[in-house]
Amino acid sequence: MNSPMEDRLRDALVSAGATVEPETLTPLRTPDRHRRFRVDLRLVAVAAAVAGVAMFLMLRPTHHDAPVLAAGMVPVNWSEGEPEISVFLCKPDSPFPACADDVRPDRGAIEQALRARPEVKSVVYEDQQVNYERFRQSQVGRDGKLLQAVTVDDMPDAFRLRMRQGTDWSAAMAAASELDGVSRVINQVCAAKRAELFEIIKEKIFGPDDEVCMTP
């Protein structure tokens, strides 16, 4: 069917193309916003150390692409009387494994399940705008680089839980983190305790420890 010229051309093109082997390709760098984000990672770390803001950063390989850096940024300043546990919800393109397959959180169902827990005293919903505002306020007086890097869209929606003293919070956290559409559950009290230095957070929250600051 094919003419000899067509076959020859095909063959030459295939062999020329084959000189680029897949393993040797330089990975594509994720441009623009993500690249800016990666640069800002160091700033984030510094700001976190200074401001007592914990950043929950995750690197996730997307296919063969460069890792995409994503962040759920949560100020861990906590003072007496504030909700102790935060339950963060998945958002589109969330990097958290719990949010794979583009899970859309069913806000009503999650709230109902949280209220049903005996350890939970009260539940308040805070959308990303509220969380951004909280984050913004944590940055007042800082040099603003972190503020520039983080947008409202980077913020997750969340439920804030007031907990009953003397109950097993980690059981409630584990249960909450298993609900569909929940990306991460943070114990703000123990996270705040450890937020003095970013390094400590990294070690303690991500490492094994008795007290559960974060699930999953």
Binding residues for another protein (CB under 8 A): 3-6, 8-17, 19-20, 22, 25-26, 28-32, 62-65, 68
As measured in angstroms, the least distance from the Cβ of 2 to another protein is 9
Structure token pair of residue 25 = 């390709």
Query: 88: exposed, middle or buried (C-beta count within 10 Å: 0-12, 13-18, 19+)?
Result: buried
Whole-number Å distance between alpha carbons of 180 and 214 = 17
As measured in angstroms, the least distance from the Cβ of 210 to another protein is 40
As measured in angstroms, the least distance from the Cβ of 66 to another protein is 9
Whole-number Å distance between alpha carbons of 156 and 202 = 20
Whole-number Å distance between alpha carbons of 58 and 43 = 16
Phi, psi torsion values for 17, nearest 5 degrees = -60, -35
Specify the residue, 66 or 130, whose C-beta has the smaller distance to another protein. 66
As measured in angstroms, the least distance from the Cβ of 61 to another protein is 10
Specify the residue, 11 or 211, whose C-beta has the smaller distance to another protein. 11
As measured in angstroms, the least distance from the Cβ of 99 to another protein is 16
Specify the residue, 17 or 108, whose C-beta has the smaller distance to another protein. 17
Whole-number Å distance between alpha carbons of 38 and 50 = 19
Specify the residue, 41 or 66, whose C-beta has the smaller distance to another protein. 66
The length of the chain, given as a count of residues: 216
Specify the residue, 11 or 199, whose C-beta has the smaller distance to another protein. 11
